[in-house]
Amino acid sequence: MTLKDLARELGVSTATISNAFNRPDQLSPGLRERILAEAKRLGYRGPDAKARSLRTGRSRIIAVILAESLTYSLNDAVSSEFLSGVAEVLDSQGHTLLLLSARQVNCQLVDSASMADGFIVYGLMPSAELFDSLPLHAALVAVDFNVAGHPSIHVDNEPSCFEIADHALSVAPRKRPAIVNLRLTAEPCNGRIDPQHTLLSAELTITRSRLAGFHAALEKHDFDLERIPMWNVEENTFEVCAPVIEEILDLPDAERPDLLLCMSDRIALTALTLAEQRGLRIPDDLCLIGFDGIAEGQYRAPRLTTVRQESSEKGRLAARMILGLEPSHSRLLTTEMMLGETCS
Amino acid sequence: MTLKDLARELGVSTATISNAFNRPDQLSPGLRERILAEAKRLGYRGPDAKARSLRTGRSRIIAVILAESLTYSLNDAVSSEFLSGVAEVLDSQGHTLLLLSARQVNCQLVDSASMADGFIVYGLMPSAELFDSLPLHAALVAVDFNVAGHPSIHVDNEPSCFEIADHALSVAPRKRPAIVNLRLTAEPCNGRIDPQHTLLSAELTITRSRLAGFHAALEKHDFDLERIPMWNVEENTFEVCAPVIEEILDLPDAERPDLLLCMSDRIALTALTLAEQRGLRIPDDLCLIGFDGIAEGQYRAPRLTTVRQESSEKGRLAARMILGLEPSHSRLLTTEMMLGETCS
DNA sequence: TTGTAGGCGTTATCAT
DNA sequence: ATGATAACGCCTACAA
């Protein structure tokens, strides 16, 4: 049952049917009503989206390209909060959300790409190859990294990390601070970072800015950065964090850090869980700070001391930009310190 | 730059270009190579998805229609785990995921619907109106409810709830068990359920089956169902659960339940957090059981005693069915008891 | 207010 | 192995 069939059936032209669905003001209300009623009766579901999108050039689909796998992105509190912000706005504007991953088999991404009216690229910089595969003049907003010629959305990682680390170091004297980084090394490394490792550049990852903030605070408190141990985790999940955290917690008492500056709440929560299992007192034996402000860190006791970033607002902003509801220039979102009980 | 432009540019026919991209065996390797090279040089990104989908009738897009809002679904551990299972399979099969919500402004859903090759409908029964708007013979899989003429995927809610409640009642004698339901009343009710309330039918919600399981176990242990207090929460989030749980925990000692049979882990975890804040001992003062087996309940101390449903497997199965990788008949997935420390 | 016709960019069926 | 051509279903000037 197509529009043309319906037109023939009703003895009117295809244009009239089209107008009945898309431009009510272009025909008499009576006729329109009759058309809609007959359409329903005959089982015509309205204009076909595939054909309509070809004809108009727009699909009302916005694609979000995620740096991580879909599986990870949907389970991670931060990225799913981001997505929910995006979804909320798209939804209210009559658009729909297509989820793509930069990790996808390449051809699929390319294939589906030309379907979307715009792209929100979230997370790390995707490969140049992937970038080239996007429609040339596509609307595009980058989140948490920069793309030449397109607006981006960032969070003030460095100052907020400075501020929270400074707080942690001020609230009680600490002997052995350490840093647990998130995907910071050029080569995969799920454990201690030693001098041989090379770190990703600030262009490629926001965690570099977080590190800079931590470092600045440590220097302010007269620590020698060379002597601050650093670990790295490859993925922001309990399973991947746990072995690294265990390695840290199982150090001899004299070496075990008494302050962990963690680049994410997930890392800090993993440390919290494992430390509790070992009978360490929080914050006396071990002080923890996180980053993100995810709900899970606040709906427990002790609550995480952390930096809250408004991921859903980030998503809403990205969506509004891509839909042209917001001026298309880069934005920097602020964060908020959340003082829980893991560091007091 | 379209396929036709490229054909003209290279002095070959459009069919040949199309074949170069889609059916390598239909032309000489040399020509194909030249075409691909020239395409890249001239900035032709390959066949346009909109046009291709119109022509072939397939978009390689699978839509998931969620009963709840996208915002809720993306933040809830259970549904996002389901989605990640779906995404995993679609991804590996070169398909892509379109997220729709039954709560969406109606017309948008209808509009986008005809774009998808198939539908996975998740959660409660959507309105008949919505259903009618889907393409007539569309591939469709229902998850957690039934649709005539289409396969569905269920979890064994009733037996597993019987088993876990039976366990809870067996492990230590309890005087005052109570049930905390999830969206079970016909009229919204975020608080105590009293006899006036009417409950949704089993057709409309799986929580009815969970209740039946709890009831069976209570009867086995000689409780009078009339005397078992029930509460209801309207949404599976901390914010919405909290006031209801507070109402329960703040009852006078003699009335406060000593066992809460909760229909979800989120509800049980909310109770756990709030009980801990009040200094109640778990499980001595209050025993808790949940449902779902979400990670958050297991990465903490005490761990939740609960029923684990494999949401991601549910998603994978739904996706495989919709892609025809799995026979299209209804399936019932089993669950697993997880014995944590909240009920021992 | 309604009808006509061209084309959106492909792919598939034929021929050659 | 390659080319010509007719759809796919719709939208929108433009004409009536």
Which of A18, A74, A101, A110 to mutate: most B Cβ within 10 Å?
A74
Closest CA to B99 of B108, B309, A153: B108
Look at B91 and A112 and tell me if their CB atoms are within 8 Å: no
pLDDT on residue B126: 66
Estimate in Å the CA B213 to C1' D15 gap, whole number: 70
pLDDT in tens, A86-123: 999 998 998 999 999 888 766 666 677 889 999 999 98
Per-residue H/E/C for B142-197: EECCCCCCCCEEEECHHHHHHHHHHHHHHHCCCCCEEEEEECCECCCCCEEECCCC
Distance from C-alpha of A83 to C-alpha of A12, rounded to nearest angstrom: 44
pLDDT in tens, chain A (344 residues): 899 999 999 999 999 999 999 999 989 999 999 999 999 999 898 999 999 999 999 999 999 999 999 989 999 999 999 999 999 999 899 899 999 988 876 666 667 788 999 999 998 766 777 777 787 778 999 999 988 889 999 999 999 999 999 999 999 999 999 999 999 999 999 999 999 999 998 888 899 999 999 999 999 999 999 999 999 999 999 999 999 999 999 999 999 999 999 999 999 999 999 999 999 999 999 999 999 999 999 988 899 999 999 999 999 999 999 999 999 999 999 999 999 999 98
Estimate in Å the CA B3 to C1' C7 gap, whole number: 15
Estimate in Å the CA A129 to C1' C1 gap, whole number: 52
**Does nucleic acid strand C have an atom less than 7 angstroms from the CB of B18?**
yes
The nearest CA of chain A is from the CA of B215 a distance in Å of 30
Contacts for A112-115: CB closer than 8 Å, 24+ residues apart: A112/A63, A112/B49, A112/B60, A112/B61, A112/B96, A113/A63, A113/B45, A113/B49, A114/B45, A114/B46, A114/B48, A114/B49, A114/B50, A115/A53, A115/A59, A115/A61, A115/A63, A115/B49, A115/B50, A115/B53, A115/B59, A115/B61
pLDDT on residue A106: 61
Give the closest residue to C8 (Cα–C1′).
A55
DSSP state of A191: E
